[in-house]
Each structure stands twice: as structure tokens, then as C-alpha cells.
Amino acid sequence: MTASLAIGVDVGATKIAAILADRSGHVLAEERALTGAAEGVAAVVSRIAAAVQALQRAAPAPIAGVGVGIPGYVDAAQGIVRNAVNLGWQEVDLAARLRHEVRLDVWAGNDANVLALGEYYYGAAQSCANFAYIAIGSGLGSGIVLDGRLVIGATYAAAELGHLSLDPAGRLCACGLRGCVETVVSGPGILATAREHLARGERSALRDTAGLTPENVLDAALARDPLAVAVFDETAAWLGMVFAVCAVMLNPERIVIGGGLGRAAFDLLVPGALAELSRRVVPQSCAHLQVTPSQVTAGAVGASSLVWQAERG
């Protein structure tokens, strides 16, 4: 009998979320724990295992395996986390260690990549085998699915669009480069751009206080505040450059926009990004490109789709 359920685990810098899902991505049960990365790899792996085992006990049907999303560079073929800065992990053979504890097949992938794959199996890219996924939130994450499979890259760094520098003289990024996409197309990026506009004395209902948030700028833009609209127009143009990179490299059928900010600001960003795209690539590269909001918002749900990808062989 073919197993109908999968477990997905999202390992974040602070929290572990684990879910039991069916083949449609419907969540049947969930478990949460604190990551506690400072306690070391073994402690984190045993907390992941405990969450998985609790879901195994709750499962009403056979489980096909476990997919784990990790914020870092993951050798998906071997199930080895090569480098995850936020967890302090290097060369952790996560799949093998977890498989040993839970007695299920285990696959691992980068957290943004597994959200992309989740859109293919459960969300906005079902029946679309070639697409790019861009999540805009506290940073910018991305994933590429070609022929229905995630693209991982030679050194596990495919689809690292967030750290493409668009302006080598721009803002300093956490990665050490300047002007990365993530320094402009992200919550902190939007806030920084708004502060630059405010410093120029432009007319706005916004004030540059310590409590100003990206959500304030978004709300102001939705209320047609001129400064906030200008901030989103500028951000949309940067996003359009990212679209252009995707279009010339992949000629995708679709670009799926995820992340809390990406979904909330979809209508503020996408028209301007498409206009910028049309100025930067020939029509052949983007004539039928569709841009849609994501439907899978939980990293753990995305991670569970690794099981279905593996099943296809």
C-alpha cells in the first residue's frame, strides 16, 4: 500500500515546527518546540526526532517519510547540511542522524527551496513544472523548480537571489557584500528606503521614529501616502530586475511571490516589477509569464513535499 501521509519539519533559528500532512498538504497534526541551537547539534536533532515521533503516534495511516527545511546550504542529495549560519551548523549529516532515530526515510532541503516545492505540490504552481519562487519578508528567499524538481546547484547555492548585488556601492548586507537584493526588497530594505525619503523631507504622514515598521510603510502606501507609494515603486523596480534575471535564465511559466510582505504588498509591487521587466528583457523571455501570490505559508508544509519529490525518483 502506498503511504498517503508525510511529515514536514521547519527548523528555524528559534523554533521547530513539525506537521503531519496528506498528499494535498492538509495538516492533520502539528508539534512545536524551541530550537535551542546553542545546546548543540545532538540536542536539536533529538528535539526534531521527538516531534516526529509524536506525529508518528498521531498518524491514522502509513507515513512515506520526513522532509526537513533548514535555513542554510543543504546538500539535498546526501541530506547533509553543509552550512547553516543561524544554527551554527557545518557538515551535519542530518538525514542520516534523524533516520536512525525515527526509522523513517528523511530528506532535507533549504527552507526557501522547500517552500517553492510546496507551491508545486500543494499551492500556486500545481500543474506548472517550471517556475521561480520569491519570498519577501525579513529577507528575500527564493527557489527554482524545473521539470517539477528543485534546482540545488553545484555547491547547493542555486536560487540565492537575495544575495545578488544590484548595486556594489549600495547598503551593506549581512553577507558582507553591498547592495544585495535583500537590502532593498525586504522588510528592513523597505524601512531603510522609507527613512532615506523621510530624511530628504518629503511630504508624508509617516514619521521616522524608532518604532517605525515596514508594516507602517505598507499601510501608508495602501492609503496612497505619496512617500510610501514612492518607496514601493522604487522597491518594485528592484524586484523587476530580479524578475529579469529569472526570465533570461529560466524563461519560467510563472513566478510565485511568497513571504508575509510579498503577499501583503503583492499589488503594490508586481505591476511595477513587470513594467521594469519589460524594459530589461525581450518579449520572448517573458511574454506569457504569470506572477501569482503563494498559497503555502508554513515552512513545515513545504518541507513535507520533499517526500513526494523523492517518491517520484
| Positions that interact with Zn ion (CB under 5 A) | 163, 173, 175, 177, 180
Instruction: Give the residue with the Cβ less far from Zn ion, 173 or 255.
Output: 173
The separation between CA 37 and the C-alpha centre of its own chain, rounded to angstroms, equals: 21
Q: Compute the least distance from the CB of residue 139 to Zn ion, in Å.
A: 9
Instruction: Give the residue with the Cβ less far from Zn ion, 59 or 166.
Output: 166
Q: Compute the least distance from the CB of residue 278 to Zn ion, in Å.
A: 27
Q: Compute the least distance from the CB of residue 181 to Zn ion, in Å.
A: 8
Instruction: Give the residue with the Cβ less far from Zn ion, 151 or 175.
Output: 175
Instruction: Give the residue with the Cβ less far from Zn ion, 12 or 179.
Output: 179
The three state secondary structure string of the chain is CCCCEEEEEEECCCEEEEEEEECCCCEEEEEEEECCHHHCHHHHHHHHHHHHHHHHHHCCCCEEEEEEEECCEEECCCCEEEEECCCCEEEECHHHHHHHHHCCCEEEEEHHHHHHHHHHHHCCCCCCCCEEEEEECCCEEEEEEECCEECCCCCCCCCCHHHCECCCCCCECCCCCECEHHHHCCHHHHHHHHHHHHHCCCCCCCCCCCCCCHHHHHHHHHCCCHHHHHHHHHHHHHHHHHHHHHHHHHCCCEEEEECHHHHHCHHHHHHHHHHHHHHHCCHHHHCCCEEEECCCCCHHHHHHHHHHHHHHC
Instruction: Give the residue with the Cβ less far from Zn ion, 123 or 143.
Output: 143
The separation between CA 83 and the C-alpha centre of its own chain, rounded to angstroms, equals: 17
Q: Compute the least distance from the CB of residue 142 to Zn ion, in Å.
A: 13
Q: Compute the least distance from the CB of residue 165 to Zn ion, in Å.
A: 7
For residue 22 the three cell numbers come to 496528506
In angstroms, the CA 307 to CA 305 distance is 5
Q: Compute the least distance from the CB of residue 161 to Zn ion, in Å.
A: 10
Instruction: Give the residue with the Cβ less far from Zn ion, 29 or 164.
Output: 164
Instruction: Give the residue with the Cβ less far from Zn ion, 171 or 195.
Output: 171
Q: Compute the least distance from the CB of residue 188 to Zn ion, in Å.
A: 12
Instruction: Give the residue with the Cβ less far from Zn ion, 80 or 177.
Output: 177
Q: Compute the least distance from the CB of residue 47 to Zn ion, in Å.
A: 30
- CA neighbor of 305 nearest in space, from 37, 103, 125: 125
